[in-house]
Amino acid sequence: MNASPIARDGRDAAPDAVSPAPAQTVQPSCPTDVAERPVKQAVKRGWRRRCPNCGAGPLLRGYLTVRRDCPVCDEPLHHHRADDGPAYLTILIVGHIMAPLILWAFVKFRPDPVTLATAFTIGCVALSLYLLPRLKGVIVGIQWAKRMHGFAQAPEHATVHAAEHAPVLARPVSS
Ligand SMILES: [Zn+2]
């Protein structure tokens, strides 16, 4: 038979009843403390492949590479973690547009299969190339507006130099 937990607790708690230590109030850099960033505006600027902060500087270098900083307002842009998001959204949108369209075109016009395949291949590639950098801008804009990843302007993590962890060399033996 087990002893009643209440009785055991009561017997144990009485002699050494220690009030719990007050919770320490730590003030981390909380994203909710800072001003909100307009998501809609950042999305629109991202779609235009512009910096989500100023709307003037180019977001991308080349076709798809996000710049490290905005050349106009110096806003750091390298914090983004778009990863596969733009490609996923591009496939999602292109697929949902082209799949019904190819069925409609086949039923309506009954084209030669080579013609149909050629037309839709060009259409899919062109639409994907159009959407991909714009959707990347949209995702970077959302991440910037929501202060995701490093966009909360938290202090950069201190770089731990390898020298600090260098192994201690054996002292030379003095004779
Ligand atoms: Zn900018």
Domain coordinates in residue numbering, the chain: 36-151
Q: Looking at residue 64, what is its pLDDT?
A: 96
Q: Looking at residue 34, what is its pLDDT?
A: 73
Low-confidence winner among 38-47, 117-126, 158-167 (lowest mean pLDDT): 158-167
Q: How confident is the model at residue 160 (pLDDT cuts 50, 70, 90)?
A: very low
| Dist CA 69 CA 63 (whole Å) | 16
CA 9 to centroid of ligand 1, rounded, Å: 62
User: Is a pLDDT exceeding 50 seen at residue 120?
Assistant: yes
Is 81 within 8 Å of 150 (Cβ atoms)? no
pLDDT in tens, 122-147: 999 999 999 999 999 999 999 999 99
Q: Looking at residue 152, what is its pLDDT?
A: 84
pTM of the model: 0.68
Q: Which whole number is the average pLDDT over 101-124? A: 97
Q: End-to-end alpha-carbon separation of the chain, Å?
A: 73
CA 141 to centroid of ligand 1, rounded, Å: 11
CA 35 to centroid of ligand 1, rounded, Å: 18
User: In whole angstroms, how far apart are CA 157 and each of 133, 151, 161?
Assistant: 29, 13, 12
* Amino acid (one-letter) located at 81: R
Is 102 within 8 Å of 96 (Cβ atoms)? no
SS3 146: coil
* Amino acid (one-letter) located at 6: I
Q: Looking at residue 29, what is its pLDDT?
A: 52
Q: Which one, of 80, 71, 27, 79, lies nearest residue 51 by Cα?
A: 71
Percent of the chain with pLDDT over 90: 64
CA 51 to centroid of ligand 1, rounded, Å: 4
User: Is a pLDDT exceeding 50 seen at residue 40?
Assistant: yes
Is 157 within 8 Å of 54 (Cβ atoms)? no
Q: Which one, of 95, 167, 103, lies nearest residue 131 by Cα?
A: 95
Q: Which one, of 88, 82, 91, 87, lies nearest residue 142 by Cα?
A: 82
pLDDT in tens, 48-79: 999 999 999 999 999 999 999 999 999 999 99
pLDDT mean across residues, the chain: 80
